[in-house]
Amino acid sequence: MTDKLIIFDTTLRDGEQSPGASMNQDEKLRIATALERMHVDIIEAGFPAASPGDFAAVEAVARLVKDSAVCGLARTLDGDIDRAGEALKDAAAPRIHTFLATSPIHMRDKLRMTPDEVVEAAVRAVKRALRYTDDVEFSPEDAGRSETDFLCRVIEAVIAAGARTVNIPDTVGYALPHRFGALIQTLRERVPNSDKAIFSVHCHNDLGLAVANSLAAVDHGARQVECTINGLGERAGNAALEEIVMAMRTRKDEFSCEARVDSTQLVPCSRLVSTITGFPVQPNKAIVGINAFAHEAGIHQDGVLKSRETYEIMRAEDVGWSANRMVLGKHSGRNAFRSRLEQLGIELASAEELNDAFARFKDLADKKHEIFDDDLQALVTDSRLEGENERFKLLTLKVCSETGETPLARITLSVDGEEKSAEAEGSGPVDAAFKAIETEVKSDCDLLLYSVNNITSGTDSQGEVTVRVEKGGHIANGQGADTDIVIASAKAYLNALNKILRPVVRTHPQV
């Protein structure tokens, strides 16, 4: 009989720890909905003690999600555990994940705690978490560099205290597959009560080995893998969920367990996370990169046409690469629009949101003949970005650009509800538009990233722009979409400014 491999997604927690990937509550809810639709077993929704905003986001995810367990991270501090317990109180299946470092370097230089104190604090934290839920996970942080004897001692103690899952993190991405697999086996063999808990792994990708290490661990008895969509996460990221799932499925001949996620949701979910975080997916990224199923070389194309198995080990449609269907046109009505959004899993919260999205759809259909699924996704994202509480909104933009002339932008904005106009020249139309915005907003931010992607093919495609700005150590991403890429750019810049000028102060769980 095949065991179940538990997929624990930490896109909303470890993924969000990537500099610049922070998400607001609405964005987290949209990703959580997509993860639930994919049948991910556990969603780590955040670190509730980080800030009131993080607490509220975990609470909102816990209320919304019914079919996946929802987890909150907590250090071993009483206050952290209580915050996690409170944030999860409405979850259908709450889990508290508490952690404490066990490597000599972390205990000595970061925690300044003795090994005895670490064991005591870990046990105390697990017991306190059990006041809120019987589903408690413990992670010995930096397990990959911890001494095996001490790891065995800590793990035995937390299992005896009631932890149902023991997660072994390779926090700094230092492990090698054969050694990491052997470590999992050793722990399972040497810890006397190891059969009372599920062993999990959480691998970072600093050496590009996060997926390989996770699979080696599964091969040696781990039954939970912590991973993120697109491999998002601290530094080089975490193990990529899509790669773990498809490696297990494609090579099921090699594994005695299987993940039960719906793989057709992998590409849509990857795109959603990429759009929200502003982290593009590299074209040659396994499974979800745009080239992952493209056959450039003539000899490959010939082979694939004769028999797809010659060069394809997976089917594009099994991971969610459907033809980008033309669904609607300018004569489509509100019902057709709403029902296509429903089929795409996009839920609009209110009649106003539907009205607004439908008005934008009609607008777009006037400019663009054929509206594809991806256009609809972008359109809804765009209307959500321009929420009512935003300080800056784009009202009008006019750009003059001519061969041999300096581009000029004239912009009208709503700033805190007041209409303001400005103009500026720039080295190109986008530069002029940003400078015109700065004339009014005076944000003094540094622009770290500016990128444009076409949402569909063809010159009438909408352009989707991502910008990343920095001010005083805070980083924010902004997005905007429009068939006019200068307008899309201005929307993206304003979206980023709306976020950066209201920075959120949060505690990092691991520092």
State both tokens at 249.
Answer: 């499925």
Q: Which of residues 372-431 bind Zn ion (CB under 5 A)?
A: none
**16, 141, 243, 464: which one contacts ligand KIV (CB under 6 A)?**
141
Distance in angstroms (rounded) separating the CA atoms of residues 387 and 203:
37
Nearer to ligand KIV, 108 or 334 (CB): 108
Nearer to ligand KIV, 159 or 267 (CB): 159
Which of Zn ion, ligand KIV, none is residue 28 near (CB under 5 to 8 Å by kind)?
Answer: none
Non-local CB neighbours of 420 within 8 Å, separated by 6+ positions: 412, 413, 414, 440
Q: How far is the CB of 203 from Zn ion (least distance, A)?
A: 9
Q: How far is the CB of 11 from Zn ion (least distance, A)?
A: 12
**8, 9, 12, 14: which one contacts ligand KIV (CB under 6 A)?**
14
Q: How far is the CB of 6 from ligand KIV (least distance, A)?
A: 15
Q: Which of residues 270-289 bind Zn ion (CB under 5 A)?
A: none
Look at strands 392-400 and 165-170 and give their pairing: unpaired
Look at strands 446-454 and 371-372 and give their pairing: unpaired
Q: Which of residues 92-111 bind ligand KIV (CB under 6 A)?
A: 99
Nearer to ligand KIV, 75 or 360 (CB): 75
Q: How far is the CB of 137 from ligand KIV (least distance, A)?
A: 9
Beta carbons within 10 angstroms of residue 483's beta carbon: 18
Q: How far is the CB of 169 from Zn ion (least distance, A)?
A: 6
**14, 41, 80, 142: which one contacts Zn ion (CB under 5 A)?**
14
Look at strands 198-203 and 165-170 and give their pairing: parallel
Instruction: Supply angle C-alpha 83, 87, 90, rounded to 5.
Output: 145
Q: How far is the CB of 141 from ligand KIV (least distance, A)?
A: 4
Residue 21's φ and ψ, nearest 5 degrees, are -100, 15
Burial of 53 (0-12, 13-18, 19+ CB in 10 A): middle
Q: Which of residues 189-208 bind ligand KIV (CB under 6 A)?
A: 202, 204
Rounded to 10°, the helix 351-367/334-343 angle is 100
Distance in angstroms (rounded) separating the CA atoms of residues 92 and 496:
34
Q: How far is the CB of 211 from ligand KIV (least distance, A)?
A: 15
| Four-CA torsion 477, 451, 206, 288, nearest 10 degrees | 100
- Cα 189 to chain centroid distance, Å, stands at 35
Segment near Zn ion (CB under 5 A), from 13-21, 70-78, 302-310, 421-429?
13-21
Segment near Zn ion (CB under 5 A), from 14-22, 265-273, 291-299, 386-394?
14-22
Distance in angstroms (rounded) separating the CA atoms of residues 439 and 408:
13
Binding pattern for the stretch 307-346 against ligand KIV, x by CB under 6 A and - elsewhere: ----------------------------------------
Beta carbons within 10 angstroms of residue 375's beta carbon: 24
- Total residues at interface with Zn ion (CB under 5 A): 1
Examine residue 142 and tell whether it contacts Zn ion (CB under 5 A).
no
- Total residues at interface with ligand KIV (CB under 6 A): 10
Burial of 330 (0-12, 13-18, 19+ CB in 10 A): middle
**Residue of minimal Cβ distance to Zn ion:** 14
**22, 133, 139, 228: which one contacts ligand KIV (CB under 6 A)?**
139
Nearer to ligand KIV, 139 or 265 (CB): 139
Examine residue 382 and tell whether it contacts ligand KIV (CB under 6 A).
no
Q: Is 174 helix (H, G, I), strand (E, B) or coil?
A: coil
C-alpha to C-alpha distances, 460 to 202, 205, 272, 358, nearest whole angstrom:
43, 38, 22, 20
Which amino acid appears at position 226 of this protein?
E
C-alpha to C-alpha distances, 365 to 82, 116, 339, 387, nearest whole angstrom:
50, 67, 17, 22
Q: Which helix (H) or strand (E) holds 415?
A: strand 408-415
- CA pseudo-torsion sign 387, 389, 391, 395: positive
Nearer to ligand KIV, 235 or 398 (CB): 235
Binding pattern for the stretch 440-459 against ligand KIV, x by CB under 6 A and - elsewhere: --------------------
The answer to whether 452 touches 365, Cβ cutoff 8 Å, is no
Which of Zn ion, ligand KIV, none is residue 99 near (CB under 5 to 8 Å by kind)?
Answer: ligand KIV
Examine residue 171 and tell whether it contacts ligand KIV (CB under 6 A).
yes
Q: How far is the CB of 495 from Zn ion (least distance, A)?
A: 28
Nearer to ligand KIV, 223 or 249 (CB): 223
Nearer to ligand KIV, 71 or 409 (CB): 71
Which of Zn ion, ligand KIV, none is residue 85 near (CB under 5 to 8 Å by kind)?
Answer: none
Q: Which helix (H) or strand (E) holds 71?
A: strand 69-75
- The dihedral region occupied by 472, where left means phi > 0, alpha psi between -120 and 50, and beta the remainder, is left
> What single-letter DSSP state applies at residue 259?
E
Q: Is 419 helix (H, G, I), strand (E, B) or coil?
A: strand
Examine residue 237 and tell whether it contacts ligand KIV (CB under 6 A).
no
Binding pattern for the stretch 327-366 against Zn ion, x by CB under 5 A and - elsewhere: ----------------------------------------
Interface residues with Zn ion (CB under 5 A)?
14
Interface residues with ligand KIV (CB under 6 A)?
14, 99, 139, 141, 169, 171, 202, 204, 509-510
